[in-house]
Amino acid sequence: RTEFGPVSYNERGKFWEVFGYDDVLELASDYETFSSDGSPFAEYPEEMTKGQSVLTTDPPRHRQLRSLVSQAFTPRAIASMAPRIAEITNDLLDQVTRQGKMDVIADFSYPLPVIVIAEMLGVPSEDRARFKHWSDQMVVSEYEDLSRDNVEEYNKRVRTIMRQTLDELYDYFRQVLAERRLRPQHDLVSALLAAQIEGESLFEQGILAFCSLLLVAGNITTTNLIGNALLCFDEHPEVMEQLHARPELIPQAIEEVLRYRPPALLVGRYATRPVEIHGCKISTGESIIGWLASANFDPAQFPDPQRFDIGRAPNRHLGFGHGIHFCLGAPLARLETKIALSILLERFEHIRRERLQPIETIRSVFIMGPRHLPV
């Protein structure tokens, strides 16, 4: 922040970037000036970035969509999932207990949210290898082999991969929708089909876009929150000890992980009118990225920001964003992570990261987390 100033222009990506807490908050809050209906990243197919799901619409459409999907995503519905989440957690840990070691990501934090979302949506959790493949494709984390030297060429390649991924994903969910129309079940897809607001129900494309969003927005992020939490605790053994002794502190420790190692790094918007931020003139239509990860380290908001401190109060981190697009899945992510960490710490007194290899992280501009975490 000090090196680049509070606002900078990214020549290569052709977008503005803001870093400070207040600026990121403003970007996320003022939806009239900063629209979500379009992506700052040129490589994405327009279908993914404009007017399809809650994430990529502005009011009034956003309000309608959000009320529709919230009907199927109520706090009560989420809370009622706790026993099942605990059961899945214990099953996953049973499978690794005898080996005495595991990769937290592959064996635990990846399958847990995928199974939960698959069960919520009412699709077979055996399909999770396909879910993983689609999720990976969508966050552009697996494209290290593609050269970025030629931006045009890179964008074209990514667009092709995305297109293919969306086609596969939509075909898959189209079948699920067709089955649920004939035989509704007690699941999210049936609830989405039934949800109505002002006499309007979600059109098929809207449900497909939302299901894909859940798969992508809800899985890798939660996997990373659990992985990032264990990394933080491993770096701070005194915190690990404290949480073993007082598991009731786990929820506030999770909030500090969301600040210190946020799984989602940024939010993207574009300007609907000319606007000036710290003397920088941004024109209508230009894109702006707000770095959540940087705002979370703004010393004006978080004293001694480099310190991992589970006692921070208040802790108004931006890990789940802010404003009308505040993460719809936050209660679910918090619940899953709390249950996962509580059971893990309860069952294993000593959890040590294998130090033979350096931590390899996911390479993506959107998300942050370890690719593997052997313990």
Give the footprint of ligand HEM on this chain (CB under 6 A): 28, 36, 54-55, 66, 117, 213-214, 217-218, 221-222, 225, 263-264, 267, 319-321, 325, 327-329, 332-333
Q: How far is the CB of 324 from ligand HEM (least distance, A)?
A: 6
Nearer to ligand HEM by Cβ, of 22 and 94: the residue is 22
Nearer to ligand HEM by Cβ, of 6 and 40: the residue is 40
Placement of tokens 């197919």 in the chain: 45
Nearer to ligand HEM by Cβ, of 106 and 330: the residue is 330
Nearer to ligand HEM by Cβ, of 329 and 370: the residue is 329
Nearer to ligand HEM by Cβ, of 6 and 329: the residue is 329
* Gap between the Cα atoms of 169 and 123, Å rounded: 13
Q: How far is the CB of 97 from ligand HEM (least distance, A)?
A: 26
Q: How far is the CB of 31 from ligand HEM (least distance, A)?
A: 9
Contacts with 183 (C-beta within 8 Å, 6 or more apart), sequence order: none
Which residue has the closest beta carbon to ligand HEM? 329
Q: How far is the CB of 156 from ligand HEM (least distance, A)?
A: 25
Nearer to ligand HEM by Cβ, of 20 and 263: the residue is 263
Q: How far is the CB of 322 from ligand HEM (least distance, A)?
A: 7
Q: How far is the CB of 149 from ligand HEM (least distance, A)?
A: 29
